[in-house]
Amino acid sequence: MIARVIVDVPASQTDRLFDYKIPEKWVDFVQPGMRVIVPFGPRQIQGFVVELSEGTNVDKVKPLSDVLDITPVLTNELISLGNWLTEQTLCFKISAYQVMLPAALRTKVKKELHRSVAVEKLDPFIKPLFSESACVDWAKVTEAFPTQLKKVQQLIEKGDLEVRYIVKEKGNKKTEKVISLANKEMSLSAILDQVSKRAQKQRDVLEFLYEQEGPLRTQDLLSQLKISRATLKPLLEQEILVENDNEIYRDPLMGIQHKKTEPLPLTPSQQSVITPIIAALEEKKHVPFLLHGVTGSGKTEIYLQAIQESLKTGREAIVLVPEIALTPQMVERFKGRFGSLVAVLHSGLSMGEKYDEWRKIHRGEVKVVVGARSAIFAPFKKLGIIIIDEEHETSYKQEENPRYHAREVALYRGRYHQCPVVLGSATPSLESFARAKKELYTLLPLHERVGNRPMPKVDVVDMREELRLGNRSMFSRALLEKLQERLKRNEQSVLFLNRRGYSTFVMCRDCGYVATCNHCDISFTYHRSHHALKCHYCGHEEPMPKTCQSCESEHIRFFGSGTQKVEEELTRVLPEARVIRMDVDTTRRKGAHEKLLSAFGQGEADILLGTQMIAKGLDFPKITLVGVLAADSMLHIPDFRSAERTFQLMEQVSGRAGRHDLLGEVVIQTYTPEHYSIELVTSHNYEHYFQMEMLQRKRGGYPPYFYMVLINVSHPELTTVISVTEKIAHFLKSELSEETMVLGPVVSPIARIKDRYRYQCMIKYKNEPKLTKTLRDIQQHYIRETNQGQLQISIDLNPYLFM
């Protein structure tokens, strides 16, 4: 028997199946989806078995060296998904498989075999292994039964045995000391006879431990009996007591109380939206839905009830939410409804915690996973529904290999499992809404908030006018006044500063004019080094203007301002206000995010000031004012989606105000109040905004009218980067069809990272049959240079990041 293996060498030459002989002893044992160790040249490396076959064309097949798994870590579905990902993103197969698994599985982990049933119930052949303890090292198992691993595997499948991978956390090993009696079979009097009658404290300890069911945390013992460690010492030395290091059960939701919640009776509009979802679920039909519901329209309740339906039919559910929306508040809603059937996956977890959650899914202990992007690969076998909340979020696209979009993976898995996929958003991505318009997705609209709560009232403040009236502060008079009102009424405000711009755009403070490239409709980026404006799409460069091109004012300058600066200003103008600042600096420490939010929720501050991390998932009844300090800062990022992101973000932050009984108000400060992405927030009119935005996209030749590919080249030497990028652009132009546009080469918005120069070129196309082949050819052509590590070429299909 032959195992066909993808090896862990991410390079083009090795991106294919290699054949290995399965040693006789493992013939029934090895299955597709297992990790193995194989000889590869002089080395031993890891790989994944993806197929078994009876024969091979290879002359000298080497045998597998080792099998790392006892049950496959990849299902058949995930194996074929890996192939698909490889085609879609032009990545290596090994990267596609690795991205589906928790990182812990990439490191060397110790395996243990635990028994899950009483020793007497075990199959006689395995019994002797467990004569001394309930768990044995996997190495011992293979030693004892080199040829009977298949039998062990069957016992695992039956549930009598269980394999645990022991993940050693680097740095903070999560263990605690536990203590117990060395011999639990002895009677209490026999135990007490071991110590002197006068050693009362020691006798107390023994009596106390005798009463316990199992080991007790040493710390608890000390505090409950009010004794010191000195009392335990002689008992441990005489081996009357034993102390062990126990792995703490790593609960990512530690400390959160889950109050069980019941399904709410749905409103008529919620009802009309959930009906087709449930119908698709019951008919086992793959239907992609776009749930377009304003903030507070009750989307989450619909997710919850749809999931419940999936569970009822014996199937599972995946819910994706953006990383920053994975707040305790959000998680709580799922845990509150489905309790311990929920696993949670997000980047705040340690490697071991992620692994724990993954293992619960793999072993079928949980039925629902709530997580960020990579949770889309949850190894469920009977998916009933996939939900992507805030589907427009760009964090669903992975910005490293494999550059997949979770939405596309969700649709793939939905087709495979024949189940509905629900994309939900108050502000769907242009791509998704356009697909809904073309009836590729079924549109489910929810136009009103639950309980007819009004949408917040939005005021757009023209900051040019403020300047004209002599107000040079970052707060408009209107915003300041409303902040003061909130302080008086003891209500809360949120101030939002978007500081995503690495780059600075150039704007006239008198008229709001922003310098843009005439060829691309994209804001220029200001380059301090040579005091010039540059377009990062086509490469066009202009000297920094001295006066505004539109009104000839001299107040033209580049922009940028940080949360810290705002906080200083805030304490100056509103000294009595208590402010919580949330940005990358104040939330770096694990748990800081949750702490700050809960402090705000408990009314410990009047104003929450932060970056986009506060835009999502925030749901506090006392927030009645949301202020956006500089709505333009995102609008002028050199990215064709900047208007889309501005509208989405403004809607999103508005949604934080007045979600409960108190009416909400929003103040948006801007230098371009007439821009449709800002103006249309006042009426919360998505449809109108969509039409405006589509017009722009059509004019500029951007998605969803055109597909895009971004090729990024980097190298320590500038001349090499330029010449390689030129060759690539030339090759693309010669290979691809007439209608396809090849833009560049042009220096990347971030021209140099870590001493590597960066250039890019872009492809825009509608229909390009030769695309994949041409891009593969480029990868292949530069393979030697890229393998040596000097040259890097990244190819990003449907890019979201143009840095």
Decide if residue 298 touches ligand ADP (CB under 6 A): yes
Which one, 401 or 652, has the nearer CB to ligand ADP? 652
Stretch that binds ligand ADP, among 294-302, 603-611, 629-637, 774-782 (CB under 6 A): 294-302
Pick one of ligand ADP, Zn ion, none as the site partner of residue 551 (Cβ within 5 to 8 A by kind): Zn ion
Decide if residue 517 touches Zn ion (CB under 5 A): yes
CA distance 650 to 633: 12
**Binder to ligand ADP among 301, 651, 679, 693 (CB under 6 A)?**
301
Which one, 89 or 648, has the nearer CB to ligand ADP? 648
Decide if residue 520 touches Zn ion (CB under 5 A): yes
Which one, 303 or 513, has the nearer CB to Zn ion? 513
| Beta strand residue intervals within 520-622, DSSP E | 525-527, 532-534, 541-543, 556-558, 579-582, 607-610
* Closest CB 306 distance from ligand ADP, rounded Å: 12
Contacts of Zn ion in 544-583 (CB under 5 A): 548, 550-551, 553
Contacts of ligand ADP in 447-506 (CB under 6 A): 450
CA atoms within 13 A on the CB side of 365: 13
Stretch that binds Zn ion, among 98-106, 188-196, 342-350, 507-515 (CB under 5 A): 507-515
Find the radius of gyration of the CA atoms of the chain.
Answer: 30
Q: Which residues pair with 18 in a beta bridge?
A: 5
Q: Which residue has the tokens 């990790």?
A: 35
Decide if residue 264 touches ligand ADP (CB under 6 A): yes
* Closest CB 614 distance from ligand ADP, rounded Å: 16
Length of the chain: 803
Q: CB within 8 A of 217, min separation 6: which ones?
A: 176, 177, 178, 179
Decide if residue 402 touches ligand ADP (CB under 6 A): no
CA distance 128 to 360: 28
Decide if residue 296 touches ligand ADP (CB under 6 A): yes
Contacts of ligand ADP in 496-555 (CB under 6 A): none
* Closest CB 177 distance from ligand ADP, rounded Å: 43
Pick one of ligand ADP, Zn ion, none as the site partner of residue 535 (Cβ within 5 to 8 A by kind): Zn ion
Residue 45: CB atoms within 10 A of its CB come to 16
For 350, phi and psi rounded to 5 degrees? -75, 170
Decide if residue 299 touches ligand ADP (CB under 6 A): yes
What single-letter DSSP state applies at residue 618? -
* Closest CB 510 distance from Zn ion, rounded Å: 5
Chain Cα centroid distance, residue 686: 26
Which one, 539 or 664, has the nearer CB to Zn ion? 539
* Closest CB 664 distance from ligand ADP, rounded Å: 13
Q: CB within 8 A of 5, min separation 6: which ones?
A: 17, 18, 19, 20, 36, 38, 47, 48, 49, 50, 64
Which one, 415 or 519, has the nearer CB to Zn ion? 519
**Binder to ligand ADP among 270, 401, 633, 712 (CB under 6 A)?**
270
Q: CB within 8 A of 582, min separation 6: which ones?
A: 593, 596, 597, 608, 609, 610, 611, 613, 614
CA distance 221 to 205: 8
* Closest CB 322 distance from ligand ADP, rounded Å: 13
Pick one of Zn ion, ligand ADP, none as the site partner of residue 297 (Cβ within 5 to 8 A by kind): ligand ADP
* Closest CB 526 distance from Zn ion, rounded Å: 15
* Closest CB 263 distance from ligand ADP, rounded Å: 9
Which one, 520 or 713, has the nearer CB to Zn ion? 520
Q: Which residue has the tokens 């103040």?
A: 667
Q: Which tokens in the block code for residue 404?
A: 């997949």
How many residues bind Zn ion (CB under 5 A)? The answer is 15
Q: Which tokens in the block code for residue 796?
A: 């990003």
Residue 707, helix vs strand vs coil? strand
Decide if residue 535 touches Zn ion (CB under 5 A): yes
Decide if residue 519 touches Zn ion (CB under 5 A): yes
Stretch that binds Zn ion, among 38-46, 362-370, 502-510, 682-690 (CB under 5 A): 502-510
Contact string (CB under 6 A) for ligand ADP, positions 334-363, x = contact: ------------------------------
Q: Which tokens in the block code for residue 763?
A: 């492809």
* Closest CB 298 distance from ligand ADP, rounded Å: 3
Q: CB within 8 A of 272, min separation 6: which ones?
A: none
* Closest CB 261 distance from ligand ADP, rounded Å: 9
Q: Are 291 and 272 in contact (CB under 8 A)?
A: no
3-class DSSP string for 43-111: EEEEEEEEEEECCCCCCCCCECCEECCCCCCCCHHHHHHHHHHHHHHCCCHHHHHHHCCCHHHHCCCEE
Angle at 482 between CA 478 and CA 486, to 5 degrees: 170
Stretch that binds ligand ADP, among 185-193, 260-268, 637-645, 742-750 (CB under 6 A): 260-268
* Backbone region of residue 750 per phi and psi (left: phi > 0; alpha: psi in -120 to 50; beta: other values): beta
> Residue ranges of the alpha helices (H) in 363-495?
406-417, 430-437, 463-468, 477-489
* Closest CB 552 distance from Zn ion, rounded Å: 7
Query: N- to C-terminal Cα distance for the chain?
Result: 49
For residue 704, say if its preceding peptide bond is cis, omega within 30 degrees of 0: yes
Which one, 262 or 576, has the nearer CB to ligand ADP? 262
How many residues bind ligand ADP (CB under 6 A)? The answer is 14
**Binder to Zn ion among 48, 303, 537, 640 (CB under 5 A)?**
537
241-247/756-765 β-pairing: unpaired
Decide if residue 266 touches ligand ADP (CB under 6 A): yes
**Binder to ligand ADP among 47, 293, 371, 601 (CB under 6 A)?**
293
Which one, 551 or 751, has the nearer CB to Zn ion? 551
Decide if residue 538 touches Zn ion (CB under 5 A): yes
* Closest CB 151 distance from ligand ADP, rounded Å: 50
Pick one of ligand ADP, Zn ion, none as the site partner of residue 338 (Cβ within 5 to 8 A by kind): none
* Closest CB 456 distance from ligand ADP, rounded Å: 13
Note the residues at the interface with ligand ADP (CB under 6 A): 264-267, 270, 293, 295-301, 450
Note the residues at the interface with Zn ion (CB under 5 A): 508, 510-511, 513, 517, 519-520, 535, 537-538, 540, 548, 550-551, 553
